[in-house]
Structures are given as C-alpha cells and as structure tokens.
Amino acid sequence: MTDDKYKIQKIDDYRWRIPREGKMHVEGIVYADEHMLKEIQKDESLQQVINVACLPGIIRHSLAMPDIHWGYGFPIGGVAAFDVDEGVVSPGGVGYDINCGVRLLRTGLHRIEIINKLESLVNTLFANIPSGVGSHRRDLKLSQQEEKNVLRDGARWAVSQGYGTKEDLEYIEEKGCIRGADPELVSDRALERGRTQLGTLGSGNHFVEVGYVSEIYDEEIARVLGLERDGITIVVHTGSRGLGYQVCDDFLKVMINASRKYNIELSDRQLCCAPVNSQEGKEYLAAMACAANYAFANRQVITHWVRESFGGALHISPKESQISLVYDVGHNIAKFEEHIVGGEKRRLCVHRKGATRAFPPHHPNIPDVYKSVGQPVLIPGDMGRCSYVLVGTEKAYTDTFGSTCHGAGRVMSRGQATRSTKGRNIAEELKAKGILVRADSRATLVEEVSEAYKDVTEVVGVVEHAGISKKIVQLKPMCVIKG
C-alpha cells in the first residue's frame, strides 16, 4: 500500500515509512496496522511527522506511535531524538501538559471484597481529590518558597511532607525528580497558577481509576510486578496542571525569537526551538524540569489521598489495603539519555510527546526489582473499556529510543464527541456496564466517551506485534473519577 500525498511505503504489517525528501533530514517511521493508518491519514499528524524530520540535528527517524493524532507542533504520539551538540529542543515536542503521566498502584484487595462498596469508594475519591478546571484543595496551598521546593525536589518534597513513603520514590521514573530544575526560571504567572493546584486532577482526559486485573498474559512477569488475577489496582493519570501549561506558553515566545536568532528554518512555526546547548535551550530544559517535578509531586500527593480514601470508604487500615506503587512514568517530556547510534553510545535529547519510555531488561535506569523483566509500561484506555500493563524491550531500545505508545489516542475532537452523544446519559451507560463514574461536569463525560478514542487493545496489539513492548496484564475499570 502507498499513499500519493505522503508516499508511504509498507515495511511490514506494523510499520510504515515516509521516505526522506525535500528538507527532511531523516525518514519518518509510523507504527500502525493498515486499518489504523487509514484513520491516521484523516488528520494532519503525518505532515507533522514530516515537519519534525526537518528539524536540525534529528537522529535516525521521526517516529510516530499507533496512538498518533494531531497535536501542537509534534503530533501526539511523536518521538524524536536530537544530537546534544547539533540538535534542538522544542516545547512543541513536549507539549503544554509537561510530564503528564501515569501511575499504577496495586493493593492487597480483591474484586469480590470491594464490589459492593464501589458507591462509597467513588464518592470518597471524588470528594478528596479535586477535579475540573482550576480545581484546588483548601488545605494545601503552598507558599512561594514551598512551591519552589516542589519544583526543585519533585516527589521527594511530597514524601518529606508526609505524602507517602521513601519506598514510593524507588518506583518513579528518575525517582520522582528530574535533575537540573531551576525554579528561578519559572515565571511569576506560572508560580501563581501552580500554588493552589498541587494534588488535583485538572480537566480533560485526566482521571483516577479503580480497577482489577482481568487478564494475565505472562504469569512470571506479572508476579514480579506484584499483579494477580482479580487484584485491585488504581491508575492515576494527570500532569503539571496550570504551572506546566504556563511554562510551555512562556517559552514558546522565547523559542520563536531563538529560531530567528539561530537561523533555524521551521516547517511549522509551532516547532519553534533552540539549540540544545544554547542559553535558551538550557533555560527551557531547566524550567521544563521544574514542571516535570511538579507533576511527579502532584501524582504523589494524589496517591496519599487515594490511600486515605480507601481507608475511609472501606473502613480498613493501611496494613489491610496494602496500597503500593508499581511504577510512575511520564509521557510528555524531553530528557537526556544515552542510546547506541551507528554502533556508538551517544548522549541525546529525546522528546516524547504522548509517548511512553519503554526501557529493556537490565537497563540501569529502572528499579532493581524490575531489572530482569524490563521497565513497566502503563497504557490507559478510555473509561469504558480497559487498560494495559506492558514492559519495555530491547527492540524498543534499538528501534524507537526506548519508546512506545501512551494510550488509546483520540479519533474525535471534543466538539465531535459532544455532538455525537446528544441526548445520551453516559454515566448511566457506564453504570449498566458495572462502571461507576463521577466527573466535574456532564461535558467531561461526553467529551471522554469511549468512541472518542481508538480501541486501546488495537493500539497495544500494534506495539506488541512490532516488538517494542510486551503485554503483561489487562486492567478493567470498576469506578472512575474524571477531571
């Protein structure tokens, strides 16, 4: 199969090549099956893959995961690595919600133990964890100095304040703190927006979901991850809230000027950027690290309130609930990593925009307990279907800079989803399927309806067949709170 517009060439059943031509420095590689590719071509995301391939210093490929859809600058589902000496860093390759990511918690509970207590549990979670635009908790408002400590220390700050344990930190990407964060580079407006939003979900597709392990595909690896059939799990999906949005917005203005200053030709103004080693590039990365650390702290504080909610709703002690962290990984971030390029180990700046890190077994940057199986990869679906836990592979490390998909990926805009669900009661539809949901507004539920997303099972099928992740367990939702 080929496509006249993009001249797409089939590599195999799960990979497609966009040949290098014109101003492209590298070719594009798209992970998808044939059906998905037809859907992907309905928006401009493949043109964005091409635009990214035109950026200076890009290494090997401009990559797109199967959950790809149109985004700001990079497509959502885009991955690109840049040489640290000749390459660039672009806020459009990270996104507005810096370090939006996923955290998976396991418990000592089983489905049968909570099935009749879901109403109390979902209501308690919804009361304790603020959601919606501008949400905040009155009992957690940071002073300016405390907020800067959050930006510098990330999840470590949260643990130091009693929100969790030191053991939690071992199971967070980078142990919950990106080095090099400089709070002095974060604007007063960003600080103002972040001061009251720590420990909140925000809006859109962010959620806390209580579910259970419905399928196990690899018993041995599931055992290492501490996951067993019918065991209760909690997924937390949120990011850096208004602070991260503002950091991105502030630096887009800086990067437009930097692109002119360094004579960087842009295929799309939204890809404005600066050399990695320039003053502007270094300052963006230091401010981005602050927002990433805020997101790690945010998910850590929410975890504390999840633990409190389980205790209050189910009338059990922490010893009985045994809520512990499996892993926490971001999917909107740019990071310095070492990869093999042309047979040599090189330090690269890897952008993942709606894509998840998927490091292989024995990689030094994953927790010791997972060294034998690979990094846990957390792929949430929509609120009406299922989610998956996978692990990273050696093939991901060699072919995609250790990257894989991050979720289902939208196929409808929020406006389209709203129009298509007119007259429907989404909460009641989910309840009929045994899923209780609470949201800040009806609008959130209609925008996040299942058919607005690709089927996550199909997306995960592509990355598994392509060898860049290995499927371990499936999770089914029982109750969900939405932003």
Q: What is the pLDDT of residues 109-152, one digit of tens each?
A: 999 999 999 999 999 999 999 886 766 666 788 999 999 999 99
Q: DSSP label at 74?
A: S
Report, as an integer, the average pLDDT of 334-362: 97
Q: Note the pLDDT tens digit of each residue in 392-425.
A: 999 999 999 999 999 998 888 888 888 888 888 9
Single out the catalytic residue among 69, 339, 406, 465.
Answer: 406
274 phi/psi in degrees, rounded to 5? -145, 155
Q: Assess whether pLDDT exceeds 50 at residue 479.
A: yes
- Residue 138: predicted pLDDT: 64
Could you give the CA distance from residue 309 to residue 369 in angstroms, rounded to a whole number? 28
10 Å CB burial of residue 74 (0-12, 13-18, 19+) is buried
**For the whole prediction, is pTM greater than 0.85?**
yes
Rounded to 10 deg, the angle between the 279-314 and 118-128 helix axes is: 140
> Annotation-wise, does 209 bind a ligand?
yes
Q: Note the pLDDT tens digit of each residue in 225-239.
A: 999 999 999 999 999
Helix (H, G, I), strand (E, B) or coil at 66: strand
Under 8 Å between Cβ of 446 and 418: yes
Q: Note the pLDDT tens digit of each residue in 258-267.
A: 999 999 999 9
The CA-based angle 268-273-279, given to 5 degrees, is: 165
- What's the CATH code, domain 101-482? 3.90.1860.10
> Annotation-wise, does 332 bind a ligand?
yes
β-strand pairing of 436-439 with 470-482: parallel
- Residue 207: predicted pLDDT: 95
- Residue 454: predicted pLDDT: 86
Q: Assess whether pLDDT exceeds 90 at residue 333.
A: yes
> Annotation-wise, does 351 bind a ligand?
no
Pick from 60-69, 127-136, 165-174, 282-291: least confident: 127-136
Domain boundaries, the chain: 101-482
* Res. 4 pLDDT band, cuts 50 70 90: low
Under 8 Å between Cβ of 130 and 201: yes
N-to-C CA span, the chain:
40
Active site residue 406: yes
Could you give the CA distance from residue 90 to residue 248 in angstroms, rounded to a whole number? 10
Q: DSSP label at 130?
A: -
Residue 431 tokens read as 């309840």
> Annotation-wise, does 207 bind a ligand?
yes
Q: Assess whether pLDDT exceeds 60 at residue 85.
A: yes
- Alpha-carbon torsion (471, 30, 73, 443), positive or negative: negative
Residue 433 tokens read as 């399927």
- Residue 2: predicted pLDDT: 46
> Annotation-wise, does 110 bind a ligand?
no
Q: What percentage of the chain has pLDDT greater than the value 70? A: 98
> Annotation-wise, does 383 bind a ligand?
yes
> Mean pLDDT in the chain?
95
- Residue 422: predicted pLDDT: 84
Report, as an integer, the average pLDDT of 282-289: 98
Alpha helices in 74-176 (DSSP H): 111-114, 118-128, 144-153, 155-160, 166-169
> Annotation-wise, does 123 bind a ligand?
no
Q: Assess whether pLDDT exceeds 90 at residue 204.
A: no
Q: Assess whether pLDDT exceeds 90 at residue 276.
A: yes
Give the amino acid at 91.
P
- Residue 476: predicted pLDDT: 98
Report, as an integer, the average pLDDT of 311-323: 96
- Residue 137: predicted pLDDT: 67
> Annotation-wise, does 136 bind a ligand?
no
> Annotation-wise, does 406 bind a ligand?
yes
Rounded to 10 deg, the angle between the 144-153 and 279-314 helix axes is: 100
